[in-house]
Chains A and B, each alone.
Chain A
């Protein structure tokens, strides 16, 4: 019995020591002691690397494969001993993980985020000013479109270096156009044409929808500005969305749901799949679907979002920027700058535009002959001027969208509230948050 007890005691002590040994301090930041290697399978060059940085982004579609390929190449080619560990996850998951990671100092050094998140994370100190990048990199700043750079500014300070810039575009399935007796080279140009085409493209027996409207208020913005309305007044101090222009747009979107032209309650990812499966006639989204459409051999067209009946067009624009988080050490920050500098090279930007369809935003790339001849680029490039950043410079954007705009838009599409109620409740919601400022 005594022997058993002694044995138990020794065993328990061993377990405690082992457990405590597991709680040792994490690897020194920026050292060559890395964790899991997620970006590349190139382990042979691994031993030479001295600075490993984590890089989070939400490029889960086929564009992520290209991004990964580009950074794998960076890992192989750079002579600074930098190794990028890329972690790709859905944007929603990234945002959920980011706040706790920043709070605990475990966020990645490098991050890709949409411009709309800059105010929120700049205010909380989660991302750091990146003003010194241009001096450090010695790149010719004037080569890059100034309005694109300014998209990632908050209170006069730059927090992000643009990775890409885009607006929203209309995708259409040319095969479904032919089946419906429509000219596949002539997409709808106005709201009225959109309604007409969407109805013709709907075939309930085949589970085929004429037009896809995802959950999320950006689907309202796609039409609201063109229709002459806006979310906020010019000073961004009060809601301006309880307006006839807004109600008209909400009625149009609601009618699409009632008539079964669009499925209700679908996320963007679900509608992406529907488009790829050839079950969606018309769909508004960013350029990130181009590569997926190509890979799925979809006979598709891409062009401008339908304008208001008077021809006015303005759609949400924005993009993604490289940001450096407050968790990054000085060494990691410099490594992150090296990555950004690599990205801003003509070859990489051109490759991204050609292979992925994103409109070029560097003057050098825009002048490139191959870019000029590219079919997609020639269509998307001129559309950039119609883009505008929604809720620009507002740290409350995320809260407004999550608390009021998205839930109320969902209620509208499910027929729980009328367009008039929706517009009024959205305005009240926005004002309630703005008054707390």
Chain B
């Protein structure tokens, strides 16, 4: 009996399924089923208490189309992404170039730059909210000492989102930096040696060797950063709660607000908004994926 079971598990295919089973189970329970249920809920007028659900087909989506706060949240999310992704990835690349050597000093720098990544976004958000507070914050104090008047920082509707974006870049650039350092270190030295013989300077080496070689990694970093940026929630929730005047309310926060904060807790409507977010992220990811694939195929 034991032998039969043992033989069964020793088949490559069976072993693969067995190894995949825990992940598949978790994904099914915590991702696929909720995803399908959320999608189905988008077609119902239903509250969080799941009572008296009414099938309304596309009415939630129609309402979303005319919901100014939804479009405002989508605009804020796009604004955040436009700031965070290009600046964040470029900054990560610059820092990665600087710290890619394996000297003790540069390895130490890598550790220091990576530290914010492993910290909780909530804790970091609270810390920065205090630092950027216009009355008791350190930055406001310094700015006033330098002669600036009416320092509002996070309470300024025009400054709040750029400040959150700057904090996010500081918190997350270490992640992409580490990935890019690994990619830089994997470029064969022979390429650089050959280019030096041909008289290429550092800039040309970067443009014609490093950048093309990094293109798949840069594509990966850009796509994952874009997805993460579109799903921004923790920092805006902790630092501003979407204010002032909804200027930092992001799409995920709007979904959360509709479903869990504002009575009558419209879970169906929130699910429709969440589905729209899914569509937006999927569309942008596909476009970017094709863009980077083409670049890679062309060599840049």
> A residues bordering B, Cβ < 8 Å?
2, 5-6, 8-9, 12-13, 15-16, 19, 92, 95-96, 99-100, 102-103, 120, 124-126, 207, 215, 263-266, 270, 273-274, 277, 279, 395-396, 398-399, 402-403, 407, 410-411, 414, 416
Binds A, one of B101-109, B177-185, B242-250: B242-250
Complex contacts, A410 vs chain B, CB 8 Å = 243-245
What are 18 A-B pairs with beta-carbon distances under 8 A? A8-B15, A12-B21, A12-B22, A16-B22, A16-B25, A19-B25, A99-B48, A99-B265, A120-B264, A124-B49, A215-B243, A263-B134, A265-B244, A402-B257, A403-B262, A407-B245, A407-B246, A414-B244
Distance in Å: Cβ of B124 to nearest Cβ of chain A: 19
Complex contacts, A265 vs chain B, CB 8 Å = 152, 155, 243-244
Given known contacts A6-B10, A9-B18, A99 and B260 CB-to-CB distance under 8 angstroms? yes
Extra A-B contacts (11), CB below 8 Å, given A103-B48, A207-B144, A266-B155: A12-B18, A13-B18, A15-B22, A16-B21, A99-B260, A99-B265, A265-B243, A396-B263, A399-B264, A402-B257, A416-B245
Complex contacts, B21 vs chain A, CB 8 Å = 12, 16
Nearest B residue to A396 via CB reads: B263
Measured between alpha carbons, how far is A15 from B21 in the docked complex, in Å? 10
Q: B216 an interface residue at 8 Å Cβ cutoff?
A: no
Q: B284 an interface residue at 8 Å Cβ cutoff?
A: no
List the 7 shortest-distance A-B pairs measured between CB atoms, nearest first. A265-B155, A398-B263, A9-B9, A402-B262, A265-B244, A103-B48, A120-B263
Complex contacts, B25 vs chain A, CB 8 Å = 16, 19
Distance in Å: Cβ of B173 to nearest Cβ of chain A: 29
Complex contacts, B155 vs chain A, CB 8 Å = 263-266
Given known contacts A120-B263, A402-B261, A270 and B135 CB-to-CB distance under 8 angstroms? yes
Nearest A residue to B134 via CB reads: A263
Q: B194 an interface residue at 8 Å Cβ cutoff?
A: no
Measured between alpha carbons, how far is A410 from B51 in the docked complex, in Å? 34
Q: B157 an interface residue at 8 Å Cβ cutoff?
A: yes
Nearest A residue to B246 via CB reads: A407
Q: B77 an interface residue at 8 Å Cβ cutoff?
A: no
Q: B19 an interface residue at 8 Å Cβ cutoff?
A: yes
Q: B27 an interface residue at 8 Å Cβ cutoff?
A: no
Complex contacts, B18 vs chain A, CB 8 Å = 8-9, 12-13
Measured between alpha carbons, how far is A82 from B60 in the docked complex, in Å? 46
Interface residues of B in 251-300 (CB under 8 A from A): 257, 260-265
Q: B50 an interface residue at 8 Å Cβ cutoff?
A: yes
Measured between alpha carbons, how far is A16 from B47 in the docked complex, in Å? 35
Distance in Å: Cβ of A114 to nearest Cβ of chain B: 13
B49 in complex: contacting residue of A95, A103, A270, A279, CB < 8 Å: A103
Q: Chain A: interface secondary structure?
A: helix
Complex contacts, B19 vs chain A, CB 8 Å = 8, 12
Nearest B residue to A102 via CB reads: B49
Q: B136 an interface residue at 8 Å Cβ cutoff?
A: yes
A399 in complex: contacting residue of B50, B133, B262, CB < 8 Å: B262
Nearest B residue to A260 via CB reads: B150
B135 touches A263 (CB 8 A): yes
Interface residues of B in 207-233 (CB under 8 A from A): none
A207 in complex: contacting residue of B135, B257, B260, B262, CB < 8 Å: B135
Given known contacts A12-B21, A398-B262, A100 and B244 CB-to-CB distance under 8 angstroms? no
B261 touches A96 (CB 8 A): yes
Complex contacts, B49 vs chain A, CB 8 Å = 99, 102-103, 124-126
Nearest B residue to A395 via CB reads: B263
Complex contacts, B157 vs chain A, CB 8 Å = 414
Complex contacts, B22 vs chain A, CB 8 Å = 12, 15-16, 19
Q: B6 an interface residue at 8 Å Cβ cutoff?
A: yes
Nearest B residue to A205 via CB reads: B144
Complex contacts, B144 vs chain A, CB 8 Å = 207
Complex contacts, A277 vs chain B, CB 8 Å = 136
Measured between alpha carbons, how far is A215 from B47 in the docked complex, in Å? 28
Complex contacts, A19 vs chain B, CB 8 Å = 22, 25
Measured between alpha carbons, how far is A215 from B246 in the docked complex, in Å? 13
Complex contacts, A103 vs chain B, CB 8 Å = 48-50
A414 touches B9 (CB 8 A): no
Complex contacts, B265 vs chain A, CB 8 Å = 99
Nearest B residue to A403 via CB reads: B262
Measured between alpha carbons, how far is A399 from B266 in the docked complex, in Å? 11
Measured between alpha carbons, how far is A403 from B50 in the docked complex, in Å? 22
Complex contacts, A215 vs chain B, CB 8 Å = 243
Complex contacts, A102 vs chain B, CB 8 Å = 49
Measured between alpha carbons, how far is A95 from B257 in the docked complex, in Å? 11
Distance in Å: Cβ of A4 to nearest Cβ of chain B: 10
Complex contacts, A99 vs chain B, CB 8 Å = 48-49, 260, 265
Measured between alpha carbons, how far is A202 from B298 in the docked complex, in Å? 65
Distance in Å: Cβ of A189 to nearest Cβ of chain B: 28
